[in-house]
Amino acid sequence: MTPSPVQLPLRSADHSPTRDRVLDAFTGLLIDQGERAATLESVAAAAGLSKGGLLYHFGSKEALVRGLLTRLDELVADDIVCIRSAAAGPVDYLIRTSMSEGTPLDRTIAGAVRLAQGSHPLANTAVASMRRQWLAVVEEAVGNPDVAEAILLISDGLYFGSTITSAAHLAADVVSAARLDRLLAVIGRMTDLTATP
Protein backbone atom coordinates (compact mmCIF):
# COMPACT_ATOMS: atom_id res chain seq x y z
CA MET A 1 0.00 0.00 0.00
CA THR A 2 1.36 3.40 -0.95
CA PRO A 3 1.48 5.80 1.99
CA SER A 4 -0.64 8.88 1.55
CA PRO A 5 1.21 12.10 0.83
CA VAL A 6 1.62 14.62 3.63
CA GLN A 7 -1.57 16.64 3.96
CA LEU A 8 -1.04 20.39 3.93
CA PRO A 9 -3.89 22.83 4.46
CA LEU A 10 -2.94 25.15 1.58
CA ARG A 11 -3.27 22.48 -1.12
CA SER A 12 -5.23 24.11 -3.90
CA ALA A 13 -5.48 24.47 -7.62
CA ASP A 14 -4.22 28.08 -7.38
CA HIS A 15 -1.16 28.05 -9.61
CA SER A 16 -1.15 31.65 -10.73
CA PRO A 17 2.06 32.83 -12.38
CA THR A 18 2.61 35.30 -9.52
CA ARG A 19 2.25 32.63 -6.82
CA ASP A 20 4.61 30.38 -8.75
CA ARG A 21 7.10 33.24 -9.13
CA VAL A 22 6.96 33.90 -5.37
CA LEU A 23 7.53 30.22 -4.61
CA ASP A 24 10.42 30.13 -7.10
CA ALA A 25 11.97 33.16 -5.38
CA PHE A 26 11.50 31.63 -1.92
CA THR A 27 13.00 28.34 -3.08
CA GLY A 28 15.97 30.10 -4.67
CA LEU A 29 16.71 32.06 -1.51
CA LEU A 30 16.45 28.92 0.63
CA ILE A 31 18.87 27.07 -1.64
CA ASP A 32 21.37 29.88 -2.12
CA GLN A 33 21.32 31.59 1.27
CA GLY A 34 19.34 29.50 3.76
CA GLU A 35 16.14 30.02 5.66
CA ARG A 36 17.30 33.04 7.68
CA ALA A 37 17.89 35.01 4.47
CA ALA A 38 14.48 34.07 3.04
CA THR A 39 12.59 36.90 4.75
CA LEU A 40 9.31 38.20 3.39
CA GLU A 41 11.12 41.32 2.21
CA SER A 42 13.85 39.41 0.38
CA VAL A 43 11.35 37.01 -1.19
CA ALA A 44 9.23 39.93 -2.39
CA ALA A 45 12.29 41.65 -3.88
CA ALA A 46 13.48 38.44 -5.58
CA ALA A 47 9.99 37.91 -7.03
CA GLY A 48 9.78 41.51 -8.25
CA LEU A 49 6.87 42.38 -5.96
CA SER A 50 6.17 44.78 -3.14
CA LYS A 51 5.86 43.22 0.30
CA GLY A 52 2.12 43.94 0.09
CA GLY A 53 1.95 42.08 -3.22
CA LEU A 54 3.67 39.11 -1.64
CA LEU A 55 1.33 39.19 1.38
CA TYR A 56 -1.67 39.16 -0.96
CA HIS A 57 -0.60 35.71 -2.16
CA PHE A 58 1.10 34.40 0.99
CA GLY A 59 0.02 36.04 4.22
CA SER A 60 3.05 34.96 6.24
CA LYS A 61 6.35 33.14 6.03
CA GLU A 62 4.54 30.06 7.33
CA ALA A 63 2.19 30.31 4.35
CA LEU A 64 5.24 30.41 2.06
CA VAL A 65 6.59 27.28 3.72
CA ARG A 66 3.26 25.53 3.31
CA GLY A 67 3.08 26.65 -0.32
CA LEU A 68 6.53 25.22 -1.04
CA LEU A 69 5.68 21.93 0.69
CA THR A 70 2.39 21.71 -1.18
CA ARG A 71 4.35 22.15 -4.41
CA LEU A 72 6.70 19.35 -3.28
CA ASP A 73 3.73 17.08 -2.57
CA GLU A 74 2.28 17.74 -6.04
CA LEU A 75 5.61 17.25 -7.85
CA VAL A 76 6.32 14.01 -5.97
CA ALA A 77 2.82 12.75 -6.85
CA ASP A 78 3.59 13.46 -10.52
CA ASP A 79 6.95 11.69 -10.17
CA ILE A 80 5.29 8.63 -8.61
CA VAL A 81 3.00 8.40 -11.67
CA CYS A 82 6.08 8.53 -13.94
CA ILE A 83 7.88 5.89 -11.87
CA ARG A 84 4.91 3.53 -11.94
CA SER A 85 4.37 3.92 -15.68
CA ALA A 86 8.01 3.82 -16.81
CA ALA A 87 8.49 1.43 -19.71
CA ALA A 88 11.70 -0.07 -18.26
CA GLY A 89 10.18 -0.37 -14.79
CA PRO A 90 10.21 1.60 -11.56
CA VAL A 91 13.75 0.70 -10.47
CA ASP A 92 15.30 1.61 -13.81
CA TYR A 93 13.42 4.91 -13.87
CA LEU A 94 14.31 5.79 -10.28
CA ILE A 95 18.02 5.11 -10.75
CA ARG A 96 18.25 6.88 -14.11
CA THR A 97 16.52 9.97 -12.69
CA SER A 98 18.48 10.07 -9.43
CA MET A 99 20.68 12.98 -10.43
CA SER A 100 19.88 16.57 -9.58
CA GLU A 101 19.49 18.45 -12.85
CA GLY A 102 17.85 21.62 -11.58
CA THR A 103 14.32 20.53 -12.47
CA PRO A 104 11.40 22.04 -10.55
CA LEU A 105 11.28 18.84 -8.46
CA ASP A 106 15.03 19.02 -7.74
CA ARG A 107 14.83 22.66 -6.69
CA THR A 108 11.75 22.07 -4.55
CA ILE A 109 13.42 19.11 -2.83
CA ALA A 110 16.48 21.27 -2.15
CA GLY A 111 14.32 24.03 -0.67
CA ALA A 112 12.39 21.58 1.51
CA VAL A 113 15.64 19.99 2.70
CA ARG A 114 16.97 23.44 3.67
CA LEU A 115 13.81 23.95 5.74
CA ALA A 116 14.16 20.49 7.27
CA GLN A 117 17.78 21.24 8.20
CA GLY A 118 16.39 24.13 10.21
CA SER A 119 14.20 21.61 12.06
CA HIS A 120 10.99 22.88 10.49
CA PRO A 121 8.45 20.19 11.51
CA LEU A 122 6.30 20.37 8.37
CA ALA A 123 9.38 20.16 6.16
CA ASN A 124 10.66 17.14 8.06
CA THR A 125 7.27 15.46 7.61
CA ALA A 126 7.13 16.31 3.90
CA VAL A 127 10.67 15.04 3.17
CA ALA A 128 9.99 11.83 5.10
CA SER A 129 6.69 11.35 3.21
CA MET A 130 8.45 11.83 -0.13
CA ARG A 131 10.97 9.14 0.70
CA ARG A 132 8.29 6.73 1.98
CA GLN A 133 6.34 7.11 -1.25
CA TRP A 134 9.37 6.30 -3.40
CA LEU A 135 10.27 3.37 -1.13
CA ALA A 136 6.73 1.95 -1.39
CA VAL A 137 6.86 1.99 -5.21
CA VAL A 138 10.27 0.29 -5.26
CA GLU A 139 9.16 -2.29 -2.71
CA GLU A 140 6.11 -3.10 -4.85
CA ALA A 141 8.43 -3.60 -7.82
CA VAL A 142 11.04 -5.81 -6.13
CA GLY A 143 8.92 -7.53 -3.48
CA ASN A 144 11.52 -7.25 -0.74
CA PRO A 145 11.66 -4.38 1.79
CA ASP A 146 15.39 -4.74 2.45
CA VAL A 147 16.31 -4.72 -1.24
CA ALA A 148 13.94 -1.79 -1.78
CA GLU A 149 15.69 0.14 0.98
CA ALA A 150 19.11 -0.66 -0.55
CA ILE A 151 17.90 0.58 -3.95
CA LEU A 152 16.55 3.78 -2.43
CA LEU A 153 19.85 4.32 -0.62
CA ILE A 154 21.67 3.92 -3.96
CA SER A 155 19.29 6.49 -5.44
CA ASP A 156 19.93 8.81 -2.47
CA GLY A 157 23.68 8.43 -2.98
CA LEU A 158 23.47 9.20 -6.70
CA TYR A 159 21.34 12.25 -5.96
CA PHE A 160 23.64 13.53 -3.22
CA GLY A 161 26.69 12.92 -5.38
CA SER A 162 25.17 14.89 -8.22
CA THR A 163 24.54 17.87 -5.96
CA ILE A 164 28.19 18.12 -4.90
CA THR A 165 29.95 17.22 -8.15
CA SER A 166 30.88 19.69 -10.85
CA ALA A 167 28.85 19.64 -14.06
CA ALA A 168 31.92 18.65 -16.10
CA HIS A 169 32.61 15.67 -13.85
CA LEU A 170 28.95 14.66 -13.94
CA ALA A 171 28.87 14.69 -17.73
CA ALA A 172 32.00 12.58 -17.96
CA ASP A 173 31.37 10.16 -15.13
CA VAL A 174 28.37 9.99 -12.82
CA VAL A 175 25.54 10.19 -15.32
CA SER A 176 27.06 8.15 -18.13
CA ALA A 177 24.57 5.67 -19.49
CA ALA A 178 27.14 2.86 -19.39
CA ARG A 179 27.81 3.44 -15.72
CA LEU A 180 24.10 3.46 -14.90
CA ASP A 181 23.65 0.28 -16.96
CA ARG A 182 26.33 -1.43 -14.86
CA LEU A 183 24.77 -0.20 -11.64
CA LEU A 184 21.35 -1.42 -12.72
CA ALA A 185 22.85 -4.82 -13.57
CA VAL A 186 24.20 -5.05 -10.01
CA ILE A 187 20.79 -4.09 -8.64
CA GLY A 188 19.21 -6.71 -10.91
CA ARG A 189 21.50 -9.40 -9.50
CA MET A 190 20.69 -8.27 -5.98
CA THR A 191 16.98 -8.48 -6.75
CA ASP A 192 17.38 -11.92 -8.38
CA LEU A 193 19.21 -13.26 -5.31
CA THR A 194 16.36 -12.31 -3.01
CA ALA A 195 13.75 -13.76 -5.39
CA THR A 196 15.15 -17.31 -5.16
CA PRO A 197 13.65 -19.52 -2.43
Nearest Cα residue to 2 out of 87, 95, 84? 84
Residues constituting the chain: 197
Which residue type does 168 have? A
Query: Distance between CA 174 and CA 167 in Å, rounded?
Result: 10
* pTM of this structure: 0.84
**For residue 110, pLDDT beyond 70:** yes
| 5: CB partners within 8 A, 6+ apart | 73, 76, 77, 129, 133
pLDDT at 125 over 50: yes
Q: Please tell me the predicted confidence (pLDDT) of residue 3.
A: 36
